[in-house]
Amino acid sequence: MTEPLVEVEGLTRVFDVSPPWITRKLAGQPRRLLRAVDGVDFAVAPQRTLGLVGESGCGKSTVARCVAGLMAPSAGAMRFRGRPMDLARRPDRAVRRSIQMVFQDPYASLNPRWRVETSVGDPLLAFGIARSRADMREQVARLLTDVGLSPDDAAKYPHEFSGGQRQRIAIARALASRPAFLICDEPTSALDVSVQAAVLNLMRRLQGEYGLTYLFISHNLAVVDHMADDVGVMYLGRIVEMQPKRRLFDAPRHPYTRLLVQTVPGLDTLGRASAPLAGEVPSPLSPPPGCAFHPRCPHANDRCRAERPAPVPLPEGGNVACHAVAEGRI
Amino acid sequence: MKPLLDIRGLRVELPGPPPLAVLDDVSLAIAPGEILGVVGESGAGKSVTGAAVLGLLTAPLRQAGGEILFDGTRIDTLPEARMRRLRGAEIAMVFQDPLTALNPVFTVGQQLVQTIREHSSLTRSEARARAAALLREVGIPDPDERLDAYPHEFSGGMRQRVVIALALAGAPRLIIADEPTTALDVSIQAQIIALLVGLARARGVGVMLITHDMGVIAEAADRVAVLYAGRLVEVGPVAEVLLRPRHPYTRGLVGAIPRIGAGLAVLPQIPGAMPRLDSLPEGCAFHPRCPLADARCRAERPAPRPLGPVQVACLHAEKAVA
């Protein structure tokens, strides 16, 4: 197997959500810790796409922010090209420019007072990629053309663009420093389907042209199926199943994955009343003991309620963290 | 059967000069117990359609033509006081964001009791019992205790159930649901859709389900109306419209949806973007993006016409389906 471009081992991020000190002392309350990400492992091979799916609060965006260096992990190791990396604690310009991010909301991720040229050109100047302002302008024009916009758009402001066009600008900005690894956190969730199709097509084309490796995060299973090579399913801070996407969607093993694949509303569900899963994702503040999914799981037994399942490798590749699968019960 | 809601040639304008048509000649009907999906891209006029039915068009938007009939009676010309009584009692609404639809400083019970008493002559304790029954009906566990909880103490999915209970408080015959599942997670979405469908069936309530999500439409709606640039392009039974779309825009829209297991290298996409209201093209509004457009499409605006089981506003609809 080729050496992974990005590797993450035991990634954990804990947030302190305690009430203020005085309240704790007066009411005798303990500190409260929220384990948003709890021991996540994955590796992404060069020019491949790893998809992460899960519902809100499962920790997928926190994984993205830790890898991008927007926040420091509480524990765990991250490696880029085999070398330890933690951009939030140890800024490293060479790695920094190689790892870029595209955010969900192109209305919030672009500075409304900056011309497109400034937003897209800033990384070129910051990393010393452009030799002069004229060179910067030329490179911005090329980037805008690459994402399907016109070089003339460089002089405009974000409000002059539609949502889909803004996301193209955000992609051009992410590509400016010629990154190897692009983290995309729900990049099309704010867009209409017809616009989404165009942006997804663009991202696949750019992956080939720029030789990009993607970490692609979405709650939309069909979008992840379209974009990813391998898919990890997150539930309450952990990856419960990771498989090559065809196997994951055709033969999901974890009961949660099965449920997700079954309940996703799609055109195939036409006229078929799907049986929605009862219950909700528990609060990450007080996760259930044992397997976090056991309160909603039809296959849960006493062991599931007491013992947290570890990821077990599957014969066909990938892994699944489920006692019922490991014991051959399902 | 006589339709419960009958929208005829509705036109909503943004005053000019020149006035811009936000909705132009839109005709739709909903029968009792029927779920009509209304889909389209942002800016196509979906939410404005719902707001017009509720008499809640926000200025400067105004109705400039057409009529809206509820149970055979015109409601778009009713004085505000009468419309107010109709809203909640006969026509209720469910919004996208359950957190903003509920008042954060009152308990769920207080809000339900107030709404129930607004629309009935029940005493406070009767209304409270009725409120608990409503919470039970929308699938909230321990309804008697949950009545005393504040909205922030509910999860997103449970909060949307509360909003639906609130909508049911006046025993309405029509519910306008504007993106009711958009703010929710996939597994919770499925629960809320199942709840809405169940209620429509059990109570014979008509539902206008406004959404941009074709998956939601496929799962919940009986019929679907597709809007483009403020105009109705296609309306018909959900299986017909989604599986055999006659209008080239509907075809493009349905084709652009990623599907699990499709294995496409490139998703089909519609070239260009929906035109702005101030620069609508002559003729068919879709012609600049349409693969079938010809000289007639550029000159002549197609009116919706019956084609098999659907109504479609396209001169070349026969070609599109072939």
Q: Which sequence spans correspond to the domains of chain A?
A: 6-228
Number of Cβ within a 10 Å radius of residue B322: 6
Residues 6 or more apart whose Cβ sits within 8 Å of residue A260: A53, A221, A233, A252, B186, B187
Q: Are strands A181-185 and A99-102 parallel, antiparallel or unpaired?
A: parallel
Instruction: Find where tokens 């080939």 sit.
Output: A208
Alpha helices in B169-224 (DSSP H): 186-203, 214-220
Burial A171-186 (b: 16+ CB within 10 A, else e): bbbbbbbbbbbbbbbb
Interface pTM, i.e. ipTM: 0.81
Residue A25: which pLDDT band, with cuts at 50, 70 and 90?
confident
Q: Provide the pLDDT for residue B97.
A: 78
Q: Which of B188, B213, B261 sits opposite A249 (nearest CB)?
A: B261
Helix axes A255-263, B186-203, angle to 10 degrees: 50
Q: Which of B187, B193, B270 sits opposite A260 (nearest CB)?
A: B187
Q: Flag whether residue A118 sits within 8 Å of chain B, measured between CB atoms.
A: no
Interchain pair B269, A276: CB under 8 A: no
Interchain pair B257, A193: CB under 8 A: yes
Residue in B closest to A261 by C-alpha: B260
Q: Which residues of A touch B194 (CB under 8 A)?
A: 273-274, 276
Q: Provide the pLDDT for residue A241.
A: 97
- Rounded to a whole number of angstroms, the CA Rg of chain A reads 21
CA distances from A57 to A35, B185, B245 (A): 11, 10, 37
> What digits encode the pLDDT tens for the residues A232-241?
999 999 999 9
Query: Closest Cα of chain B to A96: distance in Å?
Result: 31
Interchain pair B266, A271: CB under 8 A: no
> What digits encode the pLDDT tens for the residues A72-115?
999 999 999 999 999 999 999 999 999 999 998 888 899 999 99
Q: Which residues of B touch A163 (CB under 8 A)?
A: 42
Residue in B closest to A189 by C-alpha: B182
Residue in A closest to B195 by C-alpha: A276
| Backbone φ, ψ for residue B74 (5° rounding) | -70, 130
Residue B66 in 3-state DSSP? strand
> What digits encode the pLDDT tens for the residues B7-28?
999 999 998 788 999 999 999 9
Q: Provide the pLDDT for residue A2.
A: 78
- What CATH number is given for B5-221 in this structure? 3.40.50.300
Q: Provide the pLDDT for residue B31.
A: 95
Contact B155, B98 (CB under 8 A): no
Q: Which residues of A touch B186 (CB under 8 A)?
A: 55, 219-221, 260, 263-265
> What digits encode the pLDDT tens for the residues A132-154?
999 999 999 999 999 999 999 99
Query: Closest Cα of chain B to A273: distance in Å?
Result: 7
Interchain pair A193, B186: CB under 8 A: no
Chain A interface test: which of B192, B219, B264, B286 (most A C-beta within 10 Å): B219
Domain A6-228 CATH superfamily: P-loop containing nucleotide triphosphate hydrolases (3.40.50.300)
Residue A124: which pLDDT band, with cuts at 50, 70 and 90?
very high
